[in-house]
Chains A and B, each alone.
Chain A
Amino acid sequence: MKRKTAKGVSLALGLALFATACGGDDGGDGSEGASGEDIVIGVAGARVGAIANVGEGVGEAVTDWFEMVNANGGINGRKVKIEEIETKYEVPPALEAFARFQQSNAVLVAVEGTATSDALTPVSEQSKIPIMFPGQGNLETVDGEAFPYAFPAGPLYAHQATAMVQQQVEELGTDISIGCVAWEPPPGREYCAGVKDATDDLGAEFAGEVVIPAAAADLDAQVRDTVALDADVVLHAAIFGQAVLLLKGLCDQAPDLPVGAWHWAITQNEIKGAGAECMEGKFGTSMSTLPSDDPEAVQMLRDYWEESGTDPNPVLDENSLYGNGLYIAVVIEEAIRQALEIVGDDGEVTGEVMKQALESIEDYEGYGVTCPITITEKDHSGNRALNIYQIRDGGWDRIGECVTGPPVTDEPDVS
């Protein structure tokens, strides 16, 4: 029996090894999208793990968008191949995925998650393949001279916080106190640091910060601490299940307290989890125009699905983070278009060309999905503006369009 088991397991392992040896090694080892061939874009996905909601929204939107682009003849006749590899928001799989993209001659890699974008920053520089990670990442990467191949290409966490404070001060005046609830990992702390900076800058009062441990399953103490801040407004940077617990707790203990969130916590998840009644009036930022506003990009997708007889992707309506995915997709499309302008429609697109192309994007509004983006060699953010949405009748109502807050203290000077 034992021998049979041993043989069976050995056979399975052998087959797996054989399959791996056979699969996918085309011998490529550089960032060269050869002349006239498909342009390969890597997506370091995160559909499983801590940020699965983000991974689903972004992964589906990028895939859908380029399916449509390719069906319509590609970009200046060049097709775009999206290669998505799951990382589970863990660093070693992200490093493996990046090596696989390099082998596939990818010329740009879209990354989901701050930990993974941080980890891939040095290898992107070593391999000269740019990475882009709109909506997440480390504030220091806005400096294109310090991190030449890292492209936040959008507002970072601190920008979300300052925009939100700006909007609250414009609406309620400076005589308000704003408290902040931070998810313990760096993005959450960076968000609350941004809230503090902006309240100081705009003359409002910072009521204090409450921190949610990364793995906390019960937030009763944090809810009580938040109420005890006695703030006029509370902004929070909690994610997914924790955001639901926090919001439910605040609805129970301080039902009239205005609560705002970063872009990970104003999704269908929170409405379903905390309940539409609780979420009514809550507000939050979004770097993209949400699909519910039906921007041009969404209309284009719906038209394509209708014309091609394809079933519309339900994720578009079920996960508002699909909007962030569209943001990423249209910026990639524009970068490819700029790259083809540099090398010609049949020219060889490389990672270095894509870097140059990204740095040529100017006043781009991405089919109504993005606030105007201008990326330069020095400024790799290119856009610090956020839309602000409020939940009304279970849907999203845009109450602030492309709001930019005061400058963030720790942000590198890229002017």
Chain B
Amino acid sequence: MALIAMETGRFHEKYSEEIAVYGTPYRKIWILAVLVVTFVVIPLVASPYWLVVLTLVGIAAVGATGLNVLVGYAGQISLGHAAFAAIGAYTSGLLVSRAEAPFWVAVPVAMVAAGVFSLIFGLASLRVKGLYLAIATLAAQYIVQWILTSWTWITGGFQGIVIFEPIQIGPFDTTTPMGKYLMVFISLALVVVFVENLMRSRSGRAMIAVRDQDIAAAGSAVSPLHYKLLAFFISSAIAGLSGVLYGYNAGLVSTEVFTLALSVQYLAMILVGGLGSIPGSILGAGFITMLPLWLRDLLPAVGIELSASVEVHLLTLLFGVAILLFLVLEPRGLYGLFRNIKDYFRMWPFSY
């Protein structure tokens, strides 16, 4: 009878082991499996509808991962991330449509523009914390919304519509659900690799030090100002990328897209998914994006047929209750839940 050996703990003996990307051999297999599923299995089996849904999840995951760098790792709060996404989207869209810049130039410039703009509000983080910082970043939201609706010489009109010309390279075409899906998930993969590596670097650890105790960090030659600003820049640049992806996915952007509600949704995603965790950002984005769809399809599946007016209000209520219950029952988020389950099986039969 074969003996099944279960891992009962991890013991790092060297610093290189501590920061290794593949902490265990299993991790390599997991990552490979996720890549195969994402880039081979799903494109082969998913219907166009599911590609559209997953693309929306992917865009939200990029934005949520960016916000998690700031909130989860650096301990700063932002209610202005939709504004930074708007800066990215409009910079990229205008560069391509007006200056005829190629997308591979426009996208990095858009990310830098979003990052630089956020530094204005990042400076406030040196003097204010918590709710006060949240209000400071809220200003970004209102300022950007005002600019988009009022500076019509930039946006081209009150609607502020900027068309995103599709990217077509050989068979790759962002007018198709498959093209959009691949564009978004390649971007998400790059963001995940970047943030994962960032957190293994000196800068990432410094951000965590500032989050946990900024005075002690300053005493250890870690400049809170420098790392808070760096976190704002990186986080907002990634948010800018999510804005760009939104533009390419929808085919245009308008001024009514990047609202305060979107900023709050990003926050909800990382709270539900798990603060300070990259998988948590992705799980949270999936949960918040897809929960309304699950609830909508669940009611008829269990034989509950309601009139449209009753159904929409019931679904909204259930959505709120589900998030509330989730946060009460598992405050560490979906990733915390996943770890609980994983640990249970890892320790089995001695899990307690």
Binding site for B on A (CB under 8 A): 2-3, 5-6, 8-10, 15-17, 19-20, 22-25, 27, 29, 45, 47-48, 56, 59-60, 63, 84-86, 88, 90-93, 95-96, 99-100, 102-103, 114-115, 118-119, 121-123, 125-126, 138-140, 184-187, 189-190, 193, 213-215, 410
Inside 8 A of A213's CB, which chain B residues have their CB?
142
Is the Cβ of A95 less than 8 Å from the Cβ of B158? Answer: no
Binding site for A on B (CB under 8 A): 47-50, 52-53, 56, 59-60, 142, 145-146, 149, 157-161, 163-164, 175-177, 249-252, 254-257, 260-261, 289-298, 300-302, 308-309, 311-313, 315-316, 326, 329-330, 337, 340-341, 344
List of 10 A-B pairs having minimum Cβ-Cβ separation, nearest first: A122-B251, A115-B256, A99-B52, A23-B297, A16-B294, A189-B158, A186-B158, A19-B301, A118-B254, A186-B159
From B47, which residue of chain A is reached at the shortest CB distance? A25
| Partner among A23, A114, A193 whose Cβ is within 8 Å of the Cβ of B256 | A114
Inside 8 A of B142's CB, which chain A residues have their CB?
213
Q: In the complex, what's the smallest C-beta–C-beta distance from B64 to chain A, in angstroms?
A: 13
From B155, which residue of chain A is reached at the shortest CB distance? A186
Q: In the complex, what's the smallest C-beta–C-beta distance from A14 to chain B, in angstroms?
A: 11
Decide if the interface of chain B is mainly helix, strand, loop or mixed. Answer: helix
Q: In the complex, what's the smallest C-beta–C-beta distance from B278 to chain A, in angstroms?
A: 20
Is the Cβ of B161 less than 8 Å from the Cβ of A9? Answer: no
| Partner among A5, A93, A126, A184 whose Cβ is within 8 Å of the Cβ of B251 | A126
- Complex alpha-carbon distance, A190 and B309, angstroms: 30
A29-B157 in contact given A17-B294, A95-B250 (Cβ < 8 Å): no
Q: In the complex, what's the smallest C-beta–C-beta distance from A289 to chain B, in angstroms?
A: 24
- Complex alpha-carbon distance, A27 and B298, angstroms: 19
Inside 8 A of A24's CB, which chain B residues have their CB?
297
| Partner among B252, B290, B301, B330 whose Cβ is within 8 Å of the Cβ of A119 | B252
Inside 8 A of A118's CB, which chain B residues have their CB?
159, 161, 252, 254, 256
From A118, which residue of chain B is reached at the shortest CB distance? B254
A47-B312 in contact given A114-B159, A186-B255 (Cβ < 8 Å): yes
A103-B252 in contact given A6-B344, A23-B301, A92-B56 (Cβ < 8 Å): no
Inside 8 A of A60's CB, which chain B residues have their CB?
308-309
| Partner among B59, B149, B290 whose Cβ is within 8 Å of the Cβ of A20 | B290
- Complex alpha-carbon distance, A115 and B329, angstroms: 36
- Complex alpha-carbon distance, A99 and B312, angstroms: 19
Is the Cβ of A63 less than 8 Å from the Cβ of B308? Answer: yes
Inside 8 A of A139's CB, which chain B residues have their CB?
159
- Complex alpha-carbon distance, A187 and B158, angstroms: 8
Is the Cβ of A95 less than 8 Å from the Cβ of B252? Answer: no
Is the Cβ of B251 less than 8 Å from the Cβ of A121? Answer: yes
Q: In the complex, what's the smallest C-beta–C-beta distance from B349 to chain A, in angstroms?
A: 14
Inside 8 A of B161's CB, which chain A residues have their CB?
118, 138, 140
- Complex alpha-carbon distance, A390 and B292, angstroms: 41
| Partner among B49, B60, B149, B159 whose Cβ is within 8 Å of the Cβ of A102 | B49
From A3, which residue of chain B is reached at the shortest CB distance? B344
- Complex alpha-carbon distance, A5 and B142, angstroms: 40
A96-B52 in contact given A23-B300, A23-B301, A140-B161 (Cβ < 8 Å): yes
A27-B297 in contact given A118-B256, A185-B255, A186-B256 (Cβ < 8 Å): no
